[in-house]
Amino acid sequence: MSQGLEKRSRCYVRVRCEIDADGSLTPIAVLWRPGRAYEITKVSRRESWPCLGTGRGTRFTVWFGGYQTYLWWDTNRWYVMSRPPRTAKEVVFTSSG
């Protein structure tokens, strides 16, 4: 399996995203832990994926600068199975917008 992702546990995260007129989600920033938010610089792929919790969801291939990882939307929660990027640009992430 790819880069040991199977040995890591889920980390539920807050995500700032845009919702298009057709209802599609596009993540733009991730809050890994309080005070540590990272700007998503590129979303290169969005695909249906059988998430463990509900059996359905979406997996996004996202980039934080030069760091690539997966971000999952499990129909009601976002999660990652990796550590926060070390070299990515941190952004301000507030609950109001």
Radius of gyration of the chain (CA): 13
Whether 74 contacts 65, CB under 8 Å: no
Residue 81 DSSP label: S
Kindly report, residue by residue over 62-73, the tens digit of the pLDDT. Answer: 998 788 889 998
The pTM score is 0.72
Q: Is the pLDDT of residue 96 over 80?
A: no
Q: In the predicted model, what is the mean pLDDT of residues 22-31?
A: 90
Compare 79 and 87 and report the one with higher pLDDT. 79
